[in-house]
Structure 1
Amino acid sequence: MPLLDVRNLTIELDTPHGRVKALEKVSLTLNAGEVHGLVGESGSGRTLFARAILGIPGPNWIVKADRMMWDGRNLMEMSAKERRCLMGSDMAMIFQDPSGSLDPAKTVGSQLVEAMPTNPEVAFWRRGKDRQLTAQKWLHKVGIKDPRKVMASYPWELSEGECQKLMIAMAVANQPRLLIADEPTSSMELSTQAQIFRLLSQLNQLQNVSILLISHELETLAQWCDRLTVLYCGQVMESGPTSELTTQPYHPYTKALLDNIPDYSGKGGHKTLMPTLPGSAPALQHLPIGCRLGPRCPAAQKKCVNQPGLTHQKDRYFACHFPYHNEPSNDDTSA
């Protein structure tokens, strides 16, 4: 039984321009101990998907799903209190905006200690000091060079990178069963990014923590994830094992992402233009008819004015009328 099973999740937003669909029929399955990557451009709905799983929707959200199961329990039927009990203990999230997620009136050390679980094996008169030492240990693990000084600081006294490291320490200190990392290294230098990814990999391998890694960098996700799901304009374009998806993509959008990965070999000339997919992602108020990639797709045809269903072939899913490298079989089914 999968740890997380989401089927046909749809999120609609009430805006001054009317109701729009930010996510439409997004499905994702995450097994215990798996690292799953969610990749897509900004505005594709990745963060909305993560917040829907945690149960922290916005005031103008309408969330619908055929199924949203957590370890055999239906998240859609849980009360707000039951969902809050899951957060921090079973689920944790590293948010993309670290400074906006911290209380500016409290020291970061007090906020970190407050979020950490109490060790019942430690005598009650020693728990305060033990929590302080444990907090310093986690700050050291995520790359904080002077944990004591940082714990005595306020969020506005720290850089964006240090706040992000603090949020990562706060999330992993609870040792949750599912860790959702939304752009966890967006404001860090390369050496610290590698350190954070190694820490997440250790949590996954040594403590069997399942990780949903959200990013727009396909190259990074391909290095660390077991499976990948590609989103575009709130819809799943393709999903499957990382090794198969990166070597033999079915969807034109996935192929475009792979083809447009920067070349670090140094063969390109000075100020050479990087390859990109023509056009830009449409606004939610002006989504195209049929396939949402249609106006930008290099392989678009007349049939693409009809929205493609999600096709299942072996361990791969894709939504395209004209997929690459695909040989139809009798086992193909469309949803």
Structure 2
Amino acid sequence: MQLLDIRNLTIELDTPQGKVKALDRVSLTIQDGEIHGLVGESGSGRSLLARAILGIPGSNWTIKADRMMLNGRNLLEMNSQERRSIMGSEMAMIFQDPSSSLDPVISVGSQLIEAMPASTGFWWSRGKKRKRAAEKWLHKVGIKDHKKIMASFPWELSEGECQKVMIAMAVANSPKLLIADEPTASMETSTQAQIFRLLSQLNQLHGVSILLISHELETVSQWCERLTVLYAGQVMEAGPTQQLIAKPFHPYTKALLGHIPDYTETTQQKSILPTLPGSAPALQHLPIGCRLGPRCPEAKKTCVKQPILCRKKGRHFACHFPYTNETCHDSTIA
């Protein structure tokens, strides 16, 4: 069953240079109990997509979509009060910048306890139950000295500690959809593995669907069942993780896989790592048609026309010259 179904989402931003399409006809589908990876470079529009799903757009945004459904409910038709009512229980988000997402004048413990699920039983014991639940989740995300953390203010903590607090707040209610935007940023390697294991347990034991946003294709592919590759606000390719890695259809996906460092071979000191030539375009100077065109090794004159998003056996790709012999006539997404 589909939990999240987004069709042709477009986000336009009002800038001094006029309107620009930060996201251009992006489609995304997440099934119940699925871990879905969203991969892209910085500036590709990953966080914009997450904020659009949560209903926290910027003041200069214009959002259009053919469909944006969550568990059978149309998110586009909900008002702000209805959106707030589904936060926590229906969906939650781990933000990329945790320190700015916490209130600096309220203690971490107070904010964390407020995010805990409502307790049952006698009224005089409910506060203690929520406090114990908060301490339990702090232990799960790798914080040992919970008393110090709960008594501190956000500005007294490091970025890594704030990130762990945000994760505890997001997962405490076991939401149906958890959006994790770079959840292990500013964390040491051992803690990163612990956080990914926690997210995996939430998925397996509680059926929480997870949208895992990252720029690290190698890391995301280890935990996700399906992947969507985003570039400059356009979907390049999507499909089952193993199939996509074994045989990428899009030149951008192939370039990402080809430029993952090979740790099994010896690399000379100060040697240049392989990269895709050029850089991602600025929003004010987006290329016509396929936005990868100026950097694409397979680009031809046809690429000035935007390719349709083709569907082939559970795989989706938007390219005029994909690495497949099959002809595409279907632009729908199932």
1:285 Cα shift?
Answer: 0.7
Out of 322, 331, 334, the position equivalent to 1:334 is 331
- Structure 1 residue 267 corresponds to structure 2 residue 273: no
1:119 Cα shift?
Answer: 2.0
Deviations 1:130-178 (A, max 9, x none): 1111100000000001011110011111110000000000000111110
CA contact (8 A) 1:67 1:74 kept: yes
RMSD (CA atoms): 1.0
CA distance in 1, matches of 2:101, 2:281: 29
Deviations 1:47-94 (A, max 9, x none): 000110111101000000000011111111111111111111110000
Identity %: 72
Partner of 1:37: 37
CA distance in 2, matches of 1:269, 1:208: 45
Partner of 2:87: 87
Deviations 1:222-275 (A, max 9, x none): 000000000000000000000000110000000000001112124211111110
1:46 Cα shift?
Answer: 0.4
Matches within 5 A, 1:75-114: 75-114=75-114
Deviations 1:296-321 (A, max 9, x none): 00111111111111111110000001
Moved over 2 A (4+): none
Give the length in aligned residue pairs.
Answer: 332
TM-score (norm 2): 0.98
Matches within 5 A, 1:182-221: 182-221=181-220
Secondary structure at 1:281 match in 2 = coil
CA distance in 2, matches of 1:16, 1:306: 26
CA contact (8 A) 1:38 1:231 kept: yes
Secondary structure at 1:237 match in 2 = strand
CA distance in 1, matches of 2:106, 2:75: 32
Secondary structure at 1:223 match in 2 = coil
CA distance in 2, matches of 1:89, 1:203: 14
CA distance in 2, matches of 1:75, 1:159: 35
CA distance in 1, matches of 2:329, 2:258: 27
CA contact (8 A) 1:313 1:332 kept: no
Amino acid at match of 2:36: H
Secondary structure at 2:270 match in 1 = coil
Amino acid at match of 1:328: E
Deviations 1:108-142 (A, max 9, x none): 0000001111122x321101111111100000000
CA distance in 2, matches of 1:155, 1:71: 34
Secondary structure at 2:303 match in 1 = helix
Partner of 2:150: 151
1:327 Cα shift?
Answer: 2.4
- Structure 1 residue 321 corresponds to structure 2 residue 314: no
CA contact (8 A) 1:98 1:167 kept: yes
Partner of 2:69: 69
- Structure 1 residue 246 corresponds to structure 2 residue 237: no
CA distance in 2, matches of 1:305, 1:101: 40
Structure 2: tracts of 5 or more residues without a match: none
Moved more, 304-313 or 199-208: 304-313
CA distance in 2, matches of 1:332, 1:19: 31
Secondary structure at 1:13 match in 2 = strand
